[in-house]
Structures are given as C-alpha cells and as structure tokens.
Amino acid sequence: MLIGYARCSTDQQSVTVQIEMLKAAGSERIFSENASGIITDRRGLAKAISALGPVDVLCVTKLDRLGRSLKDVLNTLQTITEKGAGFKVLDNPALDTSNAYGQLLLNVLGALAQFERDLIIARTSEGRARAKAAGRRFGPEAQPNGTLASRGPRAPKTGRDADGFGRKLRREPFNDFEAW
C-alpha cells in the first residue's frame, strides 16, 4: 500500500497541492500536518510511519518534506526500513527504495553521513589530545583532600528562585519587592 505524507512549515501554507499529487500517485492513505521541518518529533509523520507495514511504501512529494537535515532524513529512512517498508519521492524518481538504484543511492547517502560522523569524532579527539598535551585539564579540579571542587555557589534548598539568589549573592538591590 502507498501511504502519503504531506507537510507544510507554517499555518499560512497549505498541503492541498501535496495531497493532490499524492492521490494522483496512488496513495491510499495520506497523513498531513503543519509543522516545521526542524522539529524531529512530528505527530503526522509518526502516525504515517506507524501505519506502515511490510512492503508498504511511504511517499512524499519532495525530500525536504521528510526532514530538514540529512541526519534527520536518514534516521527517518532507517525507521522506515526497519519496518520492512519502502520510501519514494515523487519529484525525484531516483529516490525510490523499491528498486535497486534507489537502494544504492540510499546506501551511499548513509555512508556519507557515517563518514561525516567519523570525521567529527576524529577532529574532536585530536582537539582534546592537543589540549591535554598543552596542559589543559578537563573536569572539576581536585581538592587537596581528594574531593572535587564545586563549580560555584549552590542555592539553598528553600524553594526560592535562582535569579533572586544570584542577586542576593551579588548584593545588588532588588528592583521590586520579592517575598522570600
């Protein structure tokens, strides 16, 4: 079964055109929502994915409807693949995991994402090693008695707000009356 997913970023936009395209492509069920692509936890997308069964295909009109970043798209595609379902983009026939070419392209994209993650880890490790070689220490400093140093004053456990506590420590006058 072909299951469609349509998304617009704002309430001022409409998913009508996307829904018409998904229907024309043969989608039997369509899930839609107005939510920013930067939000990774979208209810409409979650419902569409949960409706997928083995051999079903999730269909979108454009790849950016699925997510804003490559990482988010690949995570979503992994979830879809784990369910035994496929994925199809209407405006890019190459992104159709129901054929060998689409599977190859998906695997290349996944390999590039893994390569990027490995580079980030390597750069971070190199930076930490250089900092250690330069004598920089990480974490809280140890006290002579073996305990770790405090990172700063702690608010008393009185239920008072931290901003008021900070003003009191700095001995700044209060701008208005606050009941402590």
Active-site positions?
Answer: 9
Question: How many CB atoms neighbour CB 178 within 10 A?
Answer: 12
Closest CA to 155 of 166, 140, 144: 166
Count of residues in the chain: 180
Residues 151-176: pLDDT tens digits? 555 555 555 555 555 555 554 444 44
Residues 94-140: pLDDT tens digits? 888 888 888 888 778 778 777 887 888 899 889 889 988 998 887 77
**Percent of all residues in the chain with a pLDDT value above 90, rounded to a whole number:** 29
Task: Tell me the Cα Rg of the chain.
Answer: 26
Residues 16-28: pLDDT tens digits? 999 999 999 999 9
